[in-house]
Amino acid sequence: MEKRLHTFFESGVLDKYILDETSASECLKAELYIDTYPEVKSEYLRLQSNLEILAKADAVEAPKFILDAILNNVEQDTNPVIQMNKSHRRTPWYSIAASIVALLFAGASYMMYDQNQELLIENQAVVDEIFDLRSDIAINNQKLDDLMLQFMKLNNPETEKYVFRGNARAKNLKTVAYINTVDKTSMIDVVSLPQLGEDQFYEVWAQMEEDLVSLGIIDPSERKMQALPYMENALGLSIRIGSRKNGITNSNEEPVAQIALKSKNN
């Protein structure tokens, strides 16, 4: 809406409307915006006030001798005032007919104006829908670009594919990791994860030379590629079941799936 109001103010239609220099369509547009948007109405009142101030500032006061001359002429005028007799003639029928036609024309004009206002509002609603549609298209295009980027990464010859298969504690677990040591990127694709308890979660760990490093929690509901931090010189990856009890997070469980990563020297 801010962009639409900015475009309207920049068009100069409101300034032309104040100066009575607008066309019929511009006049309707200005009146619609004044009635619809408080910001436009406030700016309209401000411009109108400024115009009145300028008009008063440029006004030239009539010389006092002119008023004195007019009063002297009135006092010197001795012509009697002729009293006009009131006419009691009936109003001609064509005057009545003309009045009726004028009323009908006024009513038709008001109906056309009202319909035109409704049409302008409908047109504005269509414009708003077009803006929303363009926004949705931009979002969808961004999603397509992200998917294309992921597809290119997966089909990169330097990308290695690793399949996690669950052990006896998570028989239906199956996820796929994609790691590119050249671009230094890693992703994980959730294929299937067994249901856990309310306070449990799946967490990915990287096995380093001396310790384990957490790479984050897997979201089971996210059925798309999830990015993982890339760990240089990681020896392997594992998926473990963590738990939250009494506000304490415990992730020291044994892995339910693990893989060994290929060495650069291999």
Q: What is the pLDDT of residue 127?
A: 81
Mean pLDDT by 10 residues, the chain (266 residues): 79 83 85 88 84 65 62 62 54 67 78 83 82 79 65 70 87 87 86 84 89 86 80 89 72 80 63
Q: What is the pLDDT of residue 18?
A: 80
Could you tell me the two tokens for 180? 């590119």
Q: What is the pLDDT of residue 21?
A: 82
Q: CA neighbours within 13 Å on the CB side: how many for 156?
A: 19
Tokens 């028989």 identify what position? 171
Whether 177 contacts 162, CB under 8 Å: yes
Q: Which residues contact 192 (CB under 8 A, 6 or more apart)?
A: 172, 173, 174, 175
Q: What is the pLDDT of residue 44?
A: 86
Instruction: Return the H-helix or E-strand segment holding 240.
Output: strand 236-245
Rounded to a whole number, what is the distance in angstroms from the first to the last CA of the chain?
59
pTM of the model: 0.43
Q: What is the pLDDT of residue 265?
A: 47
Which CB contacts under 8 angstroms, 24+ apart, belong to 33-42?
33/5, 33/8, 36/121, 36/124, 37/1, 37/5, 39/5, 40/5, 40/8, 40/9, 40/14
Q: What is the pLDDT of residue 135?
A: 78
At 95, give phi and psi (nearest 5°): -70, -40
Give the type of residue at 130.
I
The CATH class, in words, for 159-260 is mainly beta
Q: Which residues pair with 201 in a beta bridge?
A: 242
